[in-house]
């Protein structure tokens, strides 16, 4: 068990001018489940592979516990990794796959068999121990890959999109299994995914990456309630937050026909115009009255809830708007509605830099 | 031909289902289908039959007839074959070939493939290793024959051996030197020695001839009279007993006679042990000191005069098969490398990464993961090479010079020699080919099976 620390860790691929991972500073607590999330090509897998020792660290350092592992080869880092394609050794049985690391470490045969069996029980793999990976289903292979990591009892688990090859239903099931297993074992875990739902449901904390730069680290709640910039705001949450430009007015920002109050201090450096963000569930829809005029294009019914998709014009530009509405009573396509935000849940960002302007809401 | 004849109209799909039983083709249409199939197969069958099956059967029949081809002699050719010495050498050499060449090629190919897998410019290196494949076997044979010529002035291998050797060992300075006759010294199995024993306190001179003035080392001075020896010493001078341009008295020091420096001189006791040794100085003088009083034979050991290291006779009977196998490896290691490389590039690299994270060293990753996963490719390469090696001909035909040809013999060359290259006995030749066929067949079957299995997967 150990903490993991990245200090200014950078990875620059030879022949490329922009680093794939740009001086990341990150501390992962002992026993914590940290999810690295971001769109594809954001450097999250590279970060994980740097921690695994599969990618060189161009500058900066990585520590596991008190040990500087920056230049330690992967075999000596005492970590276990679950790969996206599972990377099961095709010429070995499930038991041999799971016991491979122990065999390399010179663990006696009986102890090895015992530990493999123990892990197999945990993952319901007992009946398959003598099979080759080829004869297993996708979900079973995924569990073998997990088992291979568990048997090691390593200091850190690394998981590189381990659920992306499973079908949707199995993914949701396995998601909870992995999270609860991690909590039971209490092993520090770094988990990479591009799926923000996975990140929100599994992680103790989430680190959002974009273009190799760490955007924000925090609990799922923090990321959802107080994204530090436009990117995190748009990335976390589904359907995504509505983001559009708005003019600054006296005492707040213009929102169609009304002014939503925003603390004056926050808008001091903002200039004439800001980007505002409202999550779909924080949009109040009314058929009459004040607010931003929205033409309804389509309404998605999800039973209890519905999502209203519409568009409006802000400063002559078309802006798409999503709002959560009641499943039983909602406007229909073609109607015109007026929307206003929940004032406590309005996110205001700088127009140029995209940085958050209002302080986080604390209720 | 009408369209119907080429492709009989597909029976309507619904019909068999409506009847509840599958429609059987009528005997007439089955006939026609067979004919059409045969028509399509015919060109290939005719070619195969004319070019493969007929020659094969004819060869087997021919092996049962004598050299004229008229008289049936049953197994006699086979008996002759297995009792002849040259066939025996051929079979023995073929066994050596099969044991050495495929393994060496596969292992080398594997090493190249794995090492080149990780570096930049790997394509350039692979191209170089693969290049010999583009050379005809005949040309390769000529190249290797040239490289392994015995004369260091012709063969690059011996030239480099001699060059390396001369760095590490002192060259004998005076090859070919011999004693001036009737001066009390004799040549004896390479060395030069005093005729009789020499008492301590006296002098023994060595006037030598047979050395060119131009071969003398530059520091050589005029030969000088040796110092008078002490009671426990023997002294003397070793010189070239020739005055350039003529003159002087044989066996006596004089103007223009050069001393021979750096010649080793031994005092040999009566029991054959060396009691003392010395080396001549720039003027050719030596002093053997510290001797017990008595008489000794003074000798200039053979190392002063021998020809020096001349390399190895690669193309002689003892090395020839090794040299030919080497040339084969030079050509075919590239083939093995390319095959194995393609196997490597098809491999999922995360397996190696997983093994590294599992704590395996690079060597363990190779032996436990990479090599087992490459096994199918390795077997195909290995078996292909075995087949190839069994019927090796060109290299063995080209490389050995006449004298070592019998020692390098292999079955295919023996077959050629017996049937066309002088033997003129195509009956015996056919028997040899049948033997070759029998040897190759099992490996062919293995390979065909493997290909089949792969296709099924």
- Residues A269-288 have a mean pLDDT of 87
Is B95 an interface residue toward A (CB < 8 Å)?
no
- Model confidence over B202-254: pLDDT tens digits? 888 888 888 877 777 777 778 888 888 888 888 888 888 888 877 777 878 87
CA distance A118 to chain B (A): 18
- Model confidence over B69-128: pLDDT tens digits? 888 888 888 998 888 888 889 999 999 999 999 999 999 999 999 888 878 888 898 899
Cα distances from A222 to residues A38, A207, A232, in angstroms, run 16, 11, 11
Residue at B434 is within a domain: no
The rounded distance, in Å, linking the Cα atoms of A63 and A7 is 8
Is B357 an interface residue toward A (CB < 8 Å)?
yes
CATH code linked to domain A242-350: 2.40.50.140
A→B contacts (Cβ < 8 Å), by residue, are 52-54, 73-77, 79-81, 83-85, 87, 89-91, 100-101, 104-105, 148, 152, 158
Final residue of a structural domain among B263, B281, B304: B304
B359:A105 CB<8 A: yes
What does pLDDT average to over chain B? Answer: 84
Instruction: Give CA torsion, residues B400, B403, B405, B406, to 10 deg.
Output: -160
Helical ranges in B117-254 per DSSP H: 122-130, 137-147, 156-168
Domain span at B146 = 87-161+313-426
End-to-end CA distance of chain B: 40
Residue at B237 is within a domain: yes
Residue at B448 is within a domain: no
A75:B372 CB<8 A: no
B350:A85 CB<8 A: yes
Pairing of strands B295-300, B264-268: antiparallel
User: b/e for A273-291, b at 16 or more Cβ within 10 A?
Assistant: bbbbbbbbebbebeeeeeb
Is residue B188 within 8 Å of B204, Cβ to Cβ? no
Q: What is the 3-state secondary structure (H, E, C) of A207-250?
A: EEEECCEEEEEECHHHHHHCCCEHHHHHHCCCCCCEEEEEEEEC
Which residues of chain A does B354 touch, with a Cβ-Cβ cutoff of 8 Å? 81, 83, 87, 89, 148
B355:A89 CB<8 A: yes
Residue at B396 is within a domain: yes
10 Å Cβ neighbour count for A186?
Answer: 12
B348:A74 CB<8 A: no
The rounded distance, in Å, linking the Cα atoms of A363 and A305 is 25
Residue B301's nearest CA partner among B217, B396, B408, B206 is B206
- Tokens coding B119: 């570096």
Kindly calculate the radius of gyration of chain B based on its CA atoms and give it in whole angstroms: 37
Which residues make beta-bridge pairs with A79? A156
**Residue ranges covered by each domain of chain A:** 4-230, 242-350
* Residue B189 and residue B126 share a domain: no
Would you say the C-alpha torsion B420, B423, B426, B432 has a positive or negative sign?
negative
Chain B (11-50) residues lying within 8 Å, Cβ to Cβ, of chain A: none
With cut-offs at 50, 70 and 90, classify the pLDDT of residue B171.
low
- Tokens coding B88: 């025996």
Taking CA B141 as the corner, what is the angle to CA B137 and CA B147, rounded to the nearest 5 degrees?
A: 145
User: Which residues have C-beta within 8 Å of that of residue A329, sequence separation ≥ 6?
Assistant: none
CA distance B100 to chain A (A): 29
Residue at B437 is within a domain: no
Counted domains in chain B? 3
* Residue B267 and residue B189 share a domain: yes
For chains A and B, what is the number of CB pairs under 8 angstroms?
A: 60
* Residue B105 and residue B36 share a domain: no
Residue of B nearest to A134 (CA): B457
Which pLDDT score, from 0 to 100, does residue B15 have? 46
ipTM metric: 0.86
* Residue B298 and residue B184 share a domain: yes
Of A53, A81, A91, the CB nearest to B354: A81
Residue with tokens 């619904």: B14
DSSP B53: I
Which residues of chain A does B356 touch, with a Cβ-Cβ cutoff of 8 Å? 53-54, 73-75
Which pLDDT score, from 0 to 100, does residue B41 have? 94
From the candidates A48, A49, A54, which should be mutated to test the interface with B, based on the most B CB atoms within 10 A? Answer: A54
Which comes out higher in pLDDT, residue A47 or A272?
Answer: A47
Helical ranges in chain A per DSSP H: 44-52, 94-104, 109-122, 138-152, 168-185, 196-202, 220-225, 230-235
10 Å Cβ neighbour count for A235?
Answer: 25
The rounded distance, in Å, linking the Cα atoms of B317 and B54 is 39
Taking CA A162 as the corner, what is the angle to CA A161 and CA A167, rounded to the nearest 5 degrees?
A: 100
- Model confidence over A217-255: pLDDT tens digits? 999 999 999 999 999 999 998 899 999 888 888 878 888
A65, with CB counted inside 10 A (0-12, 13-18, 19+), is: middle
Residue A134's nearest CA partner among B381, B449, B378, B373 is B373
Which pLDDT score, from 0 to 100, does residue B314 have? 86
Residue at B258 is within a domain: yes
- Model confidence over B343-399: pLDDT tens digits? 998 888 899 999 999 999 999 999 999 999 999 899 989 999 999 999 899 999 999
A148:B359 CB<8 A: no
Quick one: CATH architecture of A4-230?
A: 3-Layer(aba) Sandwich (3.40)
Residue A150's nearest CA partner among A111, A110, A189 is A189
Residue at B334 is within a domain: yes
Which pLDDT score, from 0 to 100, does residue B172 have? 55
For B401, phi then psi, to 5°, come to -70, 165
Final residue of a structural domain among B304, B331, B365: B304
Across B227-370, the runs of DSSP E, i.e. the strands, are: 234-240, 264-268, 274-279, 285-288, 295-300
Which pLDDT score, from 0 to 100, does residue A304 have? 86
Final residue of a structural domain among B267, B287, B304: B304
Residue at B197 is within a domain: yes
The DSSP annotation for A266-309 comes to GGTTT-SEEEEEE-GGGEEEESSSSSEEEEEEEEEE-SSEEEEE
In this prediction the pTM is 0.71
Instruction: Give CA torsion, residues B392, B398, B399, B404, to 10 deg.
Output: 90
A101:B368 CB<8 A: no
- Among A111-115, A285-289, B124-128, the range scoring the smallest mean pLDDT is A285-289
Q: Is the pLDDT of residue B277 over 60?
A: yes
Q: What is the 3-state secondary structure (H, E, C) of B385-436?
A: HHHHHHCCCHHHHHCCCHHHHHHHCCHHHHHHHHHCCCCCCHHHHHHHHHHH
CA distance A200 to chain B (A): 28
Edge-to-edge strands of the sheet including A4-11?
Answer: A21-28, A4-11, A59-64, A67-68
Residue of B nearest to A149 (CA): B358
Is B337 an interface residue toward A (CB < 8 Å)?
no
Of B357, B360, B372, the CB nearest to A81: B357
Residue of A nearest to B367 (CA): A104
The rounded distance, in Å, linking the Cα atoms of B199 and A64 is 85
Q: Is the pLDDT of residue B6 over 50?
A: no
Instruction: Tell me the longest C-alpha to C-alpha distance in chain A.
Output: 77
* Residue B372 and residue B292 share a domain: no
Which residues of chain B does A79 touch, with a Cβ-Cβ cutoff of 8 Å? 357
Q: Is the pLDDT of residue B258 over 90?
A: no
Q: Say how far residue A340 (Cα) sits from the centre of its chain.
A: 29
The rounded distance, in Å, linking the Cα atoms of A279 and B315 is 87
Residue of B nearest to A153 (CA): B358
Is residue B280 within 8 Å of B301, Cβ to Cβ? no
CA distance A209 to chain B (A): 23
Which residues make beta-bridge pairs with A283? A341
From the candidates B118, B350, B354, which should be mutated to test the interface with A, based on the most A CB atoms within 10 A? Answer: B354
The rounded distance, in Å, linking the Cα atoms of A296 and A292 is 12
């Amino acid at each position: 068990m150990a903490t993991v620390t990245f200090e200014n860790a950078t990875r620059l691929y030879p022949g490329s001018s922009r680093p794939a991972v740009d001086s990341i500073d990150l501390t992962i607590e002992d026993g914590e489940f940290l999810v690295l999330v971001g769109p594809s090509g954001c450097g999250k897998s590279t970060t994980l592979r740097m921690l695994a020792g599969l990618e060189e660290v161009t500058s900066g350092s990585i520590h596991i516990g008190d040990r500087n592992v920056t230049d330690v080869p992967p075999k000596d880092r005492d970590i276990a990794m679950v790969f996206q394609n599972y990377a099961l050794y095709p010429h070995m049985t499930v038991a041999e796959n799971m016991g491979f690391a122990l065999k390399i470490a010179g663990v006696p045969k009986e102890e090895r068999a015992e530990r493999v069996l123990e892990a197999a029980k945990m993952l319901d793999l007992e009946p398959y121990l003598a099979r080759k990976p080829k004869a297993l289903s996708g979900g079973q292979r995924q569990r073998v890959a997990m088992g291979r990591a568990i048997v090691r009892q390593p200091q850190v688990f690394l998981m590189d999109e381990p659920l992306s090859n499973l079908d949707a239903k199995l993914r949701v099931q396995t998601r909870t299994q992995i999270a609860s297993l991690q909590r039971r074992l209490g092993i520090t875990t770094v988990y990479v995914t591009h799926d923000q739902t996975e990140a929100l449901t599994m992680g103790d904390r989430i680190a959002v990456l974009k273009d190799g730069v760490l955007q924000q680290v925090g609990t799922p709640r923090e990321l959802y309630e107080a994204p530090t910039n436009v990117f995190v705001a748009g990335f976390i949450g589904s359907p995504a937050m509505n983001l559009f430009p708005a003019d600054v007015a006296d005492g707040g920002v213009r929102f169609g026909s009304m002014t939503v109050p925003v603390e004056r201090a926050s808008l001091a450096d903002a200039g004439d115009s800001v980007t505002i963000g409202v999550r779909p569930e924080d949009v109040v829809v009314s058929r009459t009255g004040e607010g931003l005029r929205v033409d309804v294009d389509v309404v998605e019914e999800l039973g209890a809830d519905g999502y209203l998709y519409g568009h409006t014009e802000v400063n002559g530009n078309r802006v798409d708007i999503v709002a959560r509405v009641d499943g039983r009573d909602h406007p229909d396509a073609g109607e015109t509605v007026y929307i206003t935000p929940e004032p406590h849940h309005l996110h205001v960002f700088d127009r140029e830099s995209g940085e958050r302007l209002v302080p986080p809401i604390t209720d | 031909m009408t369209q119907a004849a080429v492709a009989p109209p597909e029976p309507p799909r619904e019909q068999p289902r409506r009847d509840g039983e599958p429609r059987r083709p009528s005997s007439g249409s089955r006939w026609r289908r067979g004919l059409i199939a045969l028509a399509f197969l015919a060109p290939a069958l005719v070619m195969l039959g004319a070019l493969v099956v007929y020659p094969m059967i004819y060869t087997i029949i021919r092996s049962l007839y004598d050299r004229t081809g008229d008289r049936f002699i049953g197994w006699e050719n086979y008996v002759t074959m297995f009792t002849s010495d040259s066939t025996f050498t051929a079979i023995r050499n073929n066994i050596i070939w099969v044991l050495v060449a495929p393994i060496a090629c596969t292992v080398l190919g594997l090493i190249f493939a794995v090492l080149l897998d990780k570096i930049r410019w790997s394509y350039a290196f692979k191209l170089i290793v693969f290049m010999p494949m583009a050379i005809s076997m005949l040309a390769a044979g000529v190249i290797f024959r040239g490289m392994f010529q015995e004369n260091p002035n012709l063969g690059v291998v011996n030239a480099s051996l001699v060059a390396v050797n001369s760095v590490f060992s002192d060259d004998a300075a005076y090859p070919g030197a011999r004693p001036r006759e009737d001066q009390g010294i004799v040549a004896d199995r390479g060395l030069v020695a005093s005729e009789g024993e020499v008492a301590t306190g006296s002098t023994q001179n060595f006037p030598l001839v047979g050395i060119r003035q131009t071969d003398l080392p530059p520091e050589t001075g005029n030969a000088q009279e040796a110092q008078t020896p002490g009671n426990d010493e023997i002294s003397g001078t070793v010189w070239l007993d020739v005055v350039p341009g003529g003159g002087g008295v044989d066996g006596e020091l004089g103007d223009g006679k050069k001393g021979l420096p750096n010649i080793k001189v031994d005092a040999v006791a009566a029991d054959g042990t060396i009691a003392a040794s010395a080396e001549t100085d720039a003027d050719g003088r030596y002093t053997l000191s510290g001797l017990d009083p008595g008489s000794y034979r003074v000798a200039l050991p053979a190392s002063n005069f021998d020809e020096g290291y001349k390399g190895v006779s690669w193309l002689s009977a003892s090395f020839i098969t090794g040299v030919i196998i080497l040339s084969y490896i030079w050509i075919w290691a590239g083939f093995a490398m390319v095959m194995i490389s393609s196997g490597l590039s098809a491999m999922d690299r995360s397996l190696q990464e997983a093994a590294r994270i599992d704590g395996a060293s690079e060597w363990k990753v190779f032996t436990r993961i990479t090599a087992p996963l490459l096994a199918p490719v390795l077997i195909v390469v290995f078996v292909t090479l075995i087949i190839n090696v069994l019927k090796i001909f060109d290299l063995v035909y080209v490389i050995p010079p006449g004298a070592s040809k019998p020692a390098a013999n292999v079955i295919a060359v023996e077959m050629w020699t017996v049937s066309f290259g002088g033997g003129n006995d195509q009956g015996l030749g056919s028997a040899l080919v049948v033997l070759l066929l029998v040897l190759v067949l099992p490996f062919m079957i293995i390979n065909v099976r493997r290909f089949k299995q792969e296709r099924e997967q």
